[in-house]
Structure 1
Amino acid sequence: MPSFLWATGATFGARTTVSPSLVKLADDRVAWFLAVLWVTGLLKIVGSVIGVGLVCRRGGRTGPLLVFCGAGAAVLLVWHGALFVVHGALVEAGVRSVAPDLAGLTSWYLWLWGPWFVLGGLAFAAATWRYVRRLDTRTQVRRCGAAGAIGALLLSLASMLTGIG
């Protein structure tokens, strides 16, 4: 996973596809950014475990937690990817401008990263929906899914408004 690779100091693949300011943070070995990279890598592993859990045929006590996380992941990934696609489309159409050092990255975010995030979010949504359909206690599980989705949206909006994300 690129997050772990970049956290160890290698920036293979990052120089042409990621914002130069982020590459500089990795190159300069800024402690808080390295921590973010490690946490991001760990979250990707946790996400893969959740995804596998959602496609398993079991319900059990972890069902509501899986649905909460799956719905949250679906919303975050689709939202994040859609922002990349919309921003990239606006830049490509000339409606919005970016700093010259970011102009070359717009296509990566518009045509690769954005759609990739959206597809991942849709995959989580489909897996979560199928998982809920297989369970007997759908009402409680659906509430967990709704809470996860709303929580993820609020978290994303808060990070966007504060300039963190």
Structure 2
Amino acid sequence: MFAIPSFVWATGETFGAQSTVSPSLVKLARDGVPWFLAVLVVTGFLKLLGALVGIGLTRPRGFRTSRLMVFCGGGAATLLTWHGGLFVGHGVLIEAGAVSVEPDLVGLTGWYLYLWGPWFVMGGLAFAVATALYVRQCGDRRRLRLYGTVGALGALVLSLASTAAGIG
């Protein structure tokens, strides 16, 4: 369900986005900017992959699959928690008056602070718990933790790069 908006917005339809997402992002989708539409499609597929990883973390498999599940679980936990934390942190700074935003973005602050940010943080924490429980059920915990750490660091680098590029 979480992937559906990404695919819908990639068609140029911005239903539900006008009042809850940054106007600059809505404009990119509405204008059909190719690189942004590609980002939306990739994001949609990553969300579907996340669902498969979440399901995969429900029961241990062979070591090769376990490495992949822990790598992806650690990455998802970090990426979602970091992304949501940025939303919440920025929203708190805006609400406290420490940071100002353009007038057309003021109405979005509540969406990011009270809905999107906490939603991403909760998803990240759910992946962290699921990954930790998965590792506890597997044999080679030390080695699996390494894969989780690499996945987490990779997700953090990806998030920082996308934020620096202005698409995060």
Range of TM-score over shorter length: over 0.9
For the 8 Å contact 2:60–2:138, the answer to whether it is kept is no
Deviation of the 1:157 alpha carbon: 2.6
Distance 1:9 1:24 in 2: 9
**Aligned match for 2:56, one of 53, 57, 72:** 53
Matched, 1:80 2:80: no
**More moved, 56-65 vs 93-102:** 56-65
> Cα distance 1:3–1:91, how it changes in 2: closer, same or farther (>3 A)?
same
For the 8 Å contact 1:59–1:135, the answer to whether it is kept is no
**Aligned match for 2:25, one of 22, 39, 44:** 22
For the 8 Å contact 1:90–1:96, the answer to whether it is kept is yes
Q: Identify the residue that residue 10 of structure 1 maps to in structure 2.
A: 13
For the 8 Å contact 1:84–1:109, the answer to whether it is kept is yes
> Cα distance 1:158–1:9, how it changes in 2: closer, same or farther (>3 A)?
closer
Matched, 1:133 2:136: yes
| Percent of residue pairs identical | 66
Deviation of the 1:93 alpha carbon: 1.1
Distance 1:156 1:135 in 2: 29
TM-score (normalised: structure 2):
0.93
Structure 1 regions of 5+ residues with no counterpart?
none
The letter for the 2-side match of 1:65 is L
Deviation of the 1:135 alpha carbon: 0.3
**Aligned match for 1:102, one of 101, 105, 108:** 105
How many residues are matched? 165
The letter for the 2-side match of 1:20 is P
Matched, 1:120 2:123: yes
The letter for the 2-side match of 1:153 is L
C-alpha root-mean-square deviation of aligned residues, in Å? 1.3
Q: Which secondary structure does the structure 1 equivalent of 2:13 belong to?
A: coil
Q: Which secondary structure does the structure 2 equivalent of 1:61 belong to?
A: helix
Deviation of the 1:159 alpha carbon: 3.3
Q: Which secondary structure does the structure 2 equivalent of 1:55 belong to?
A: coil
The letter for the 2-side match of 1:88 is G
Q: Identify the residue that residue 153 of structure 1 maps to in structure 2.
A: 156
Deviation of the 1:163 alpha carbon: 4.0
Moved over 6 A (4+): none
